[in-house]
Amino acid sequence: MRKYLLDENVGESFRKGLHAHYPDIVVWRIGDPTAPLVGTLDPDILLWCEANGFSLVTNNRDSMPNHLRDHLAVGRHVPGIFTLNTNMSIGETIEELALIWGASNSDEYTDQINYLPLRW
């Protein structure tokens, strides 16, 4: 099953909403006890996601594509990156992440950045 790591700039309301409606989804946030520390650099977050099998949920549209390109260029991998859309409500985003969690294969989004909403 897919696990999500929320970037430190993704509001706590996303995790609370996911847990409230979908308690089986594993959702951690940067700064949680066993997650990367707040302030961890993006390349190190990608290494952590790779090592721990978490898909990253972020709102970083500017530098994350470059970080992913550099990560892949040295033979690394990530389970996937999902970039939030500011035009979607928290509820819509939660439903989208739940749908991805429930309807995708574990490697379906490997080494990709996907911008929400996905086009089904």
Predicted pLDDT at 120 = 60
Predicted pLDDT at 119 = 76
Looking up tokens 């490697």 gives: 107
Side-chain-facing half-sphere of 13: CA atoms under 13 Å? 6
Dihedral sign for Cα 53, 106, 108, 10, please. Answer: negative
Predicted pLDDT at 40 = 97
**Is the per-residue pLDDT at 5 higher than 90?**
yes
- Mind listing the pLDDT tens digit for each residue in 6-65? 999 999 999 999 999 999 999 999 999 999 999 999 999 999 999 999 999 999 999 999
Mean pLDDT of the chain: 95
106: confidence class by pLDDT, cuts 50, 70, 90: confident
* Domain residue ranges of the chain, discontinuous segments joined by +: 3-115
**Is the per-residue pLDDT at 90 higher than 90?**
yes
Architecture of the domain delimited by 3-115 = 3-Layer(aba) Sandwich (3.40)
* CA distances in angstroms from 2 to 38, 53, 55, 57, 94, listed in the order given: 22, 8, 7, 12, 14
Q: What distance in Å separates the CA atoms of residue 54 and residue 64, rounded to the nearest whole number?
A: 16
Predicted pLDDT at 13 = 95
Residues in a beta bridge with 29: 6
Give residues with Cβ within 8 angstroms of 103, minimum separation 6: none
Predicted pLDDT at 14 = 95
